[in-house]
Amino acid sequence: MLFPHLLLFFLALFTTRVSPEYTRPNPRPLIFRQHNRSDSDPQQVHISLAGKDHMRISWITLDKKVQSKVEYGKSPGKYDATATGESINYHYFFYSSGEIHHVKIGPLEPSTSYYYRCGGHGPEFSFRTPPSAFPVEFAVAGDLGQTEWTESTLAHIGAKDYDVFLLPGDLSYADTQQPLWDSFGRLVQPYASTRPWMVTEGNHEIETFPIIYPHGFKAYNARWLMPYQESRSTSNLYYSSDVVGTHIIMLGSYTDFDSDSDQYKWLQADLASIDRTRTPWVFVLIHAPWYNSNLAHRGEGESMRKAMEQMLYDARVDVVFAGHVHAYERFTRVYDNKADQCGPVHVTIGDGGNREGLAMSFDNPSPSISLYREPSFGHGRLRVINSTHAHWTWHRNKETNSLHVGDEIWLESLASLALCKKTNSSTRSPKDEL
Ligand SMILES: [Fe+2]
């Protein structure tokens, strides 16, 4: 049938945003994961933090009559607690999703393994809750997709323990082909069912279509429900959560961010509510980078940077992680395009391994604020040791030893630096005061 192919072609035209200067390498074939169990068995199981001491369990069943119920406990096969939630489904042109279940469980104890079963059917899963005190370790990778490169990234991430996975946008690269959302869910299940996956949206999540789906994010919002209500946000496209002594803010590069927008006002209130004695570290994730010396996606984060950078600077955000550019790049502490000891470190970590390949070309010479850059697939690890020190490392997939460090930096919390204590004239750069 010609019509569906033509339709997909036009859908791709409307949903792909790529800089005209950048020539992509040839695509890599996708890995498509099938569901080989019964219709009532859970598939695409993933978990996410859902407010203090709670976790959200999400999964899909083809059988629409399966209850949104999670049985769980601290020993395998012994479930002394049950929680119920709700399920939804959606349609996208000719595609109808399975029943998407979301169930919040808790209160849960820290650093504890829980065993759980979804909907009363199928296999047992388990996860471990984050600790109650430092150290805490995050794995970070954006632009994952579902290729052999993705598998390699996931294997490297899984080779060493961590507490929470952070994904700065571009998950499945379904790009309107909805069965690829299902395949992606199956591919990541072994990882996303055992540790919380906290994600924000990228351009590949938009999936708008004029008149019919003008608002976009239909699949993303239905499948990857994040704790936006728990963080007083009105949109799943931006939210925050606390993990041990860290406050993590997920921003939306593809929803309104100007000073009169809901996201802007929410961010203002969220930053104002941070107590640095309780969460001395603040990390922000966005999709389109604000700082980027790669030739791919040049300038795409600029209007958001202009709208929001000062807010993050005044709040002494420690690190901003971005995706979108399929390479690794680390900047020095920066504010308004200049090195600044009280600005965030900016890191582009869009090297998860999607089908579009690597972004190979960087500005030459390198701008002085860019300290390390390399077009290789990989992932990052942020180990927060205590309230003042954290260690960031970057690991290439092409190293056989997943622990091999490609880049690293020790970070000092800005809240612990006297030089960066906030003042009323916080728009002035401390660098100017030296
Ligand atoms: Fe992207």
pLDDT for position 421:
86
Q: Is 194 helix (H, G, I), strand (E, B) or coil?
A: coil
Q: Which residues contact 186 (CB under 8 A, 6 or more apart)?
A: 33, 34, 35, 43, 44
pLDDT for position 423:
54
Joined together, the tokens standing for residue 107 give 């209160």
Mind listing the pLDDT tens digit for each residue in 29-56? 788 999 999 999 999 999 999 999 999 9
pLDDT for position 205:
98
Q: Can you give the residue ranges of every domain in the chain?
A: 43-128, 136-433
pLDDT for position 400:
87
Class of domain 43-128: mainly beta
Residue 218 and residue 207: Cα distance in Å, rounded? 7
Residue 219 and residue 192: Cα distance in Å, rounded? 18
Joined together, the tokens standing for residue 224 give 């990857």
Q: Is 253 helix (H, G, I), strand (E, B) or coil?
A: coil
CA of 248 from ligand 1 middle (Å) equals: 20
Joined together, the tokens standing for residue 124 give 């047992």
Residue with token string 């000062």: 310
Phi, psi at residue 123, to the nearest 5°?
-75, 165
pTM of the model: 0.92
CA of 26 from ligand 1 middle (Å) equals: 17
- State yes or no: is 389 an active-site residue: no
CB neighbourhood size of 191 (10 A):
17
CA of 297 from ligand 1 middle (Å) equals: 9
Of the residues 156, 297, 346, 379, only one is catalytic, namely: 297
CB 398 within 8 A of CB 321: no
Per-residue exposure over 258-294, b if at least 16 CB sit within 10 Å of its own CB, e if not:
eeebebbebbeebbeebebeebbbbbbbbbbbbbbbb
CA atoms 180, 181, 186, 190: torsion sign: positive
Q: Is 197 helix (H, G, I), strand (E, B) or coil?
A: strand
CA of 277 from ligand 1 middle (Å) equals: 35
The per-residue pLDDT string of the chain (434 residues; one tens digit each, 9 = 90 and over) reads 334 444 444 444 444 344 445 455 555 678 899 999 999 999 999 999 999 999 999 999 999 999 999 999 999 999 999 999 999 999 999 999 999 999 999 999 999 999 999 999 899 999 999 999 999 999 999 999 999 999 999 999 999 999 999 999 999 999 999 999 999 999 999 999 999 999 999 999 999 999 999 999 999 999 999 999 999 999 999 999 999 999 999 999 999 999 999 999 999 999 999 999 999 999 999 999 999 999 999 999 999 999 999 999 999 999 999 999 999 999 999 999 999 999 999 999 999 998 889 999 999 999 999 999 999 999 999 999 999 999 999 999 999 888 899 999 999 999 999 999 875 444 444 443 33
pLDDT for position 26:
57
Which numeric CATH code is attached to 136-433?
Answer: 3.60.21.10
Longest dimension (CA), the chain: 69
Residue 327 and residue 330: Cα distance in Å, rounded? 10
CB 101 within 8 A of CB 116: no
CA of 150 from ligand 1 middle (Å) equals: 15
Cα dihedral 330/386/249/314 (nearest 10): -80
Residue with token string 């860019």: 370
CA of 83 from ligand 1 middle (Å) equals: 36
CB 92 within 8 A of CB 222: no
CA of 253 from ligand 1 middle (Å) equals: 10
